[in-house]
Amino acid sequence: MSALTYRRAGLVTRDQTRGLSLSMVIFIGAVGVGFLLVALLIVAMDGFDGPEARSVWENSAYATRYYPLALGIMLTPVYLALGVANGVTRRAFSLGAMGTVVVIAAIMAVFEAVGYALENGLYQLAGLTQELTTPHLFDSGTQVWISVPEVGITVAGNVAAGLLIGTTYYRWGRLWPTIALPLTFAPALAVEALMSVGWPGGLMIDLWGIERRPLWLVIPTSLLVIALTFAATHVLVRTTAVHPQA
């Protein structure tokens, strides 16, 4: 691949992240404020009983996973025609969209990790211990060096699956991509199950008693799943025609 392709892929990532930035800011603001309100409400209602308090922030994980998933689904349907119309090759578009996935995942990872760390600090101030109820790679909200990659990889798995799903819909319409959803959404579930985090991780542990494998195995395997998802998307995008206008 030529340097030109990489340069234009970089432009695609910048264009897409710029396009998504406003809705991301609104989303982050809404989640941040929302969870602060929920926390205050719980404290005002009956407070926490005992020194151990459930993490409220943990519930935000669903929002920071599935909203980016939705963004991922949008990418090809919204941006492929824009890219090609502006003289971007599909190869550059696909690489650029992967860049966008990584950027979204990184933003969400930092956002989540800051949330965990903040909550941990607030609980400590109140003399409480932050109790995590879903499985995580980290034990305490203060371990940002673990929470950032954990959330980052999880979100990346979801957005990458979203990108693949969106691409299949753009290419084949409604019927077959819907039938293929269990397959195209599988990478997102696989990443979480592999890392034993979130509800898919919970299922693995509680239902089937499968414990987490060592991190040196789990993280590269998860990254491999994401890479394969990217590869599948790339192959599809390379041969996808831009829809004619009605």
Partner 1 sequence: MTLGIDVQGLTVRYGDVTAIDDLSVSLAGGKIYGLLGRNGSGKTTLMSSIAAFMRVEHGQVLVGGQQPYENPAITEQVYLIRESGDFADQESVRGQLRRTKRFRPQWDGEFAERLLELFQVPDRRTVSRLSRGQRSALGITLGLAARAPVTMLDESYLGMDAPTRYAFYDILLEDYMQHPRTFIISTHLIEEVSRLFEEVVILDRGRLIAHEETETLRMKGAAVTGPASVVERFTDGMTVLSERRLGGTKSVTVLGEMGERQRDVAQAHGLELEPVGLQDLFVHLTKEGPA
Nearer to partner 1, 23 or 133 (CB): 23
Of the candidates 132, 133, 129, 131, the residue with the CA atom closest to the CA atom of residue 121:
129
Cα 197 from chain centroid (whole Å): 13
Shortest distance in whole angstroms from residue 236 CB to partner 1: 13
3 state SS for 148-190: HHHHHHHHHHHHHHHHHHHHHHHHHCCHHHHHCHHHHHHHHHH
Using CB under 8 A as the binding rule, the residues of this chain from 12 to 41 that contact partner 1 are: 14-15, 18-19
Shortest distance in whole angstroms from residue 77 CB to partner 1: 12
**Count of beta carbons in the 10 Å neighbourhood of residue 221:** 14
Shortest distance in whole angstroms from residue 29 CB to partner 1: 18
Give the number of residues in contact with partner 1, rule: CB under 8 A: 29
Using CB under 8 A as the binding rule, the residues of this chain from 205 to 244 that contact partner 1 are: 238-239, 241-242, 244
Shortest distance in whole angstroms from residue 4 CB to partner 1: 5
Residue by residue, DSSP assigns 75-103 as HHHHHHHHHHHTT--HHHHHHHHHHHHHH
Using CB under 8 A as the binding rule, the residues of this chain from 53 to 112 that contact partner 1 are: 78-79, 81-92
Q: Is 175 a binder of partner 1 (CB under 8 A)?
A: no
Q: Indicate the length of the chain as a whole number.
A: 246
Interface residue list for partner 1 (CB under 8 A): 2, 4-5, 8, 11, 14-15, 18-19, 78-79, 81-92, 238-239, 241-242, 244-245
